[in-house]
Structure 1
Amino acid sequence: MAVGTNTSRRQLSALAVGIPLVLLAFAGFIIWVFPPLFDRFWGTACSVTDTWLVCSGFLQRGFTAGILIGITAPIVGTYLVNRQMALIGEALAHTAFGGVAIGLFIGAAVPRFDYPLLFALVAAAVAALGMQYVAVKTDGYADIPIAIMLTGGFAVGIAVISYGVVFSATVESYLFGDILFVPFENVQLMVALTMLVLVTVALTHKQLLLITFDREAARLARINVWFYDTLLIVLTALVVVAAMQILGAILVAGMLVIPVAAAMQLTTGFNRGLIMSVLLGQVAVFGGIFLSYYWNVATGAMIIIVAIVLYIWSVLGEPIW
């Protein structure tokens, strides 16, 4: 037991020291390295293909953001779905929408505070920690607190919107999303989030896996279950907020759940399911973007519809890996 305790403490200490350094490295990469890489990659792709779908700036940003969401959402969603926490993403998305509405309201009154995604992040983080508190107090994620968060966050957003400030068009972009009109700053945000999720999961995969399938064994091994529970739910909040303006608050939870549910039908192991869910997420993103362009329908909705079609196909088929 002492060995397990010391190991867990060393891991937590390493995280405490390493995370700030990693964040600094992320910031340098996002600010100075990523923009020229983005321009070089899409410039080369445009010169090779010479098609409007590849050469258009807003489609380049949309494809990049979609690819990154197709990575981060299924990775985090794999742990959520296997822990029967699928509704957590939906509740956080609705709470984040309330934060967006508050941010837009304050930004309309004080322009220098016009950062709705920052308010959304604060609201989602508070909601995530609140759900974690409920989990500790009730020894599980009960349906009632989740339903209260889900409807309460949306109610706050609607109440703020109805107060009288005119920003309905902006609100709709967060409510329904539009992957084809993503600003480059949001693409940078998604790159930072993707790197953060990948590094965090790589460092904590064993602990997250153990608390997902055998929480009692994790406690006996002196793993800080509360810490890793909180880490997972905060990662979920970050994914939800970053993807809101792309898929919208209504649809963002779909990318956390549907590709994972399909992958579980097609694979026979957790790690295989995690990899497959990312692959299916990419199929949903690319298929959704192309079909939305040719059929002239909403891109976010089309991505989710393609994901649902993949899930139906997986249910009708047999495991392939």
Structure 2
Amino acid sequence: MATEQHSRIPRTAGLIATIPVAIAALYVIMYVLFPPLFERFWGATCGTVDTWLVCSSFVQHGFTAGVLIGVTAPVVGAYLVNRQMALIGEALAHMAFGGVAIGLFVGAAVPSADYPLLFALVAATIAALCMQYIAIKTDGYADIPIAIMLTGGFALGIAVISYGVTFHSTVESYLFGDILFVPFENVQLMVGLTLVVIGTITLTHKQLLFITFDREAARLARIDVRFYDTLLIVLTALVVVAAMQILGAILVAGMLVIPVAAAMQITDSFNRGLILSVAFGQIAVFVGILLSAWWNIATGAMIILVAIALYFASLLARMLS
């Protein structure tokens, strides 16, 4: 026992020591490396395809944000769907919407604190931890706490909106999604969130896979099931906040679930399904943005409709095979 405790101390200390290094690396990528890479890529693309759909800065921001969402949402959603936790994404999206409303209200009063996505991130993370606590106490993710979060987050947002009437149009962009509303600073934030999510999933994939399909065996293998449950739901909160400006709080859960559901119709392998779900996510984002520009339809809605079309196509392919 003593030997095991001593072996854990250096391992934990080493993990803690890497956190400042990881934060520094994340900062360098987001604020030093990413901006020139972004300019170089889109500059070359605009030079090759000289059209407003490629050369407009707001579309460039939207496409970049959409690509990131098309990766992170299906990756996290693959674990949620296979654990029958799909509605948790919807609940966290509604809580994030409440956080956005608070952030906009505070920002209107204190301009230096005008960071609505940060408030959304805090609200969604707190909601994720509360849901995990309730799940531990009630032995499962029951419908009641999810319903409370779904209605509570929306009610909070509506209450704040009804009090502060000066930012309705801004709130609507977070509620329904708006590709024109993604500033470059938020694209940088999404790059950071994407790196955190993908890096964490890469490091913990085996443990998350274990607890997804055989929780009892994971406990016998001395895997900290509660810790990885909490980690997964916090990652879901990060993805939800990252996707809000493109898809909106109402539709964001669709990107967590629908590409994964489509992939599950084609393959029974989790790893192949993970890759397919990301591919479907990218198709939904690219085709959805293009169709929304051509038909003048809301971008978030079009992305989800394309994802649903992919789901029915994969379902038909399975029926015909």
TM-score norm. by structure 1 comes to 0.94
Q: CA deviation at 1:106?
A: 1.5
Q: Which residue of 1 aligns with 2:61?
A: 61
Residues in 2 aligned to 1:200 and 1:110: alpha-carbon distance in whole angstroms: 34
Residues in 2 aligned to 1:182 and 1:27: alpha-carbon distance in whole angstroms: 20
Residues in 1 aligned to 2:48 and 2:187: alpha-carbon distance in whole angstroms: 23
Contact map agreement 2:105 2:164 (CA 8 A) in 1? no
Q: Helix, strand or coil for the counterpart of 1:307?
A: helix
Q: Which residue of 2 aligns with 1:265?
A: 265
Q: Helix, strand or coil for the counterpart of 2:312?
A: helix
Q: Which residue of 2 aligns with 1:200?
A: 200
Q: Which residue of 1 aligns with 2:33?
A: 33
Q: Which moved more, 1:216-225 or 1:311-320?
A: 311-320
Q: Superposition pairs for residues 200-239 of structure 1, below 5 Å?
A: 200-239=200-239
One-letter code aligned to 2:192: A
1:194–1:154: structure 2 CA closer, same or farther, 3 Å change rule? same
Contact map agreement 1:263 1:277 (CA 8 A) in 2? yes
Residues in 1 aligned to 2:144 and 2:74: alpha-carbon distance in whole angstroms: 25
Residues in 2 aligned to 1:177 and 1:11: alpha-carbon distance in whole angstroms: 43
Count of residue pairs brought into register by the alignment = 321
Residues in 1 aligned to 2:320 and 2:276: alpha-carbon distance in whole angstroms: 10
- Which sections of structure 1, spanning at least 5 residues, go unmatched? none
Q: Helix, strand or coil for the counterpart of 1:141?
A: coil
Q: CA deviation at 1:318?
A: 2.2
Residues in 2 aligned to 1:8 and 1:232: alpha-carbon distance in whole angstroms: 23
Q: Which residue of 2 aligns with 1:186?
A: 186
Q: Which moved more, 1:44-53 or 1:94-103?
A: 44-53
Q: Which residue of 2 aligns with 1:102?
A: 102
- Which sections of structure 2, spanning at least 5 residues, go unmatched? none
Contact map agreement 1:108 1:165 (CA 8 A) in 2? no
Q: Helix, strand or coil for the counterpart of 2:265?
A: helix
TM-score norm. by structure 2 comes to 0.94
Q: Helix, strand or coil for the counterpart of 2:163?
A: coil
Q: Superposition pairs for residues 1-321 of structure 1, below 5 Å?
A: 15-318=15-318
Q: What does the per-residue CA deviation read over 1:15-59, in whole Å, with 9 as the maximum and x for residues that have no partner?
A: 433343222201111111100000001111111222222112111
Q: CA deviation at 1:12?
A: 5.7
Q: Helix, strand or coil for the counterpart of 1:267?
A: coil
Q: Helix, strand or coil for the counterpart of 1:266?
A: coil
- 4+ residue runs over 6 A deviation: 1-11
Q: Helix, strand or coil for the counterpart of 1:318?
A: helix
Q: Helix, strand or coil for the counterpart of 2:165?
A: coil
Q: CA deviation at 1:13?
A: 5.5
Q: Which moved more, 1:45-54 or 1:292-301?
A: 45-54
1:201–1:320: structure 2 CA closer, same or farther, 3 Å change rule? farther
Contact map agreement 2:74 2:277 (CA 8 A) in 1? yes
One-letter code aligned to 2:73: A
Residues in 1 aligned to 2:4 and 2:153: alpha-carbon distance in whole angstroms: 40
1:99–1:181: structure 2 CA closer, same or farther, 3 Å change rule? closer
Residues in 1 aligned to 2:260 and 2:272: alpha-carbon distance in whole angstroms: 11
1:253–1:95: structure 2 CA closer, same or farther, 3 Å change rule? same
1:188–1:71: structure 2 CA closer, same or farther, 3 Å change rule? same
1:49–1:225: structure 2 CA closer, same or farther, 3 Å change rule? same
Contact map agreement 1:258 1:307 (CA 8 A) in 2? yes
1:20–1:236: structure 2 CA closer, same or farther, 3 Å change rule? farther
Identity in percent: 74
One-letter code aligned to 1:75: V
CA-atom RMSD, angstroms?
2.3
Q: CA deviation at 1:299?
A: 0.7
Q: CA deviation at 1:9?
A: 7.8
Residues in 1 aligned to 2:180 and 2:4: alpha-carbon distance in whole angstroms: 49
1:89–1:113: structure 2 CA closer, same or farther, 3 Å change rule? same
Contact map agreement 2:42 2:55 (CA 8 A) in 1? yes
Q: What does the per-residue CA deviation read over 1:191-238, in whole Å, with 9 as the maximum and x for residues that have no partner?
A: 111111111111100000001111111111111111111111111101
Residues in 2 aligned to 1:314 and 1:10: alpha-carbon distance in whole angstroms: 49
1:161–1:275: structure 2 CA closer, same or farther, 3 Å change rule? same
One-letter code aligned to 2:47: S
Contact map agreement 2:63 2:286 (CA 8 A) in 1? yes
1:90–1:110: structure 2 CA closer, same or farther, 3 Å change rule? same
Residues in 2 aligned to 1:260 and 1:4: alpha-carbon distance in whole angstroms: 40
Contact map agreement 2:61 2:187 (CA 8 A) in 1? yes
One-letter code aligned to 1:35: P
Q: CA deviation at 1:105?
A: 1.3
Contact map agreement 1:5 1:222 (CA 8 A) in 2? no
Contact map agreement 2:173 2:181 (CA 8 A) in 1? no
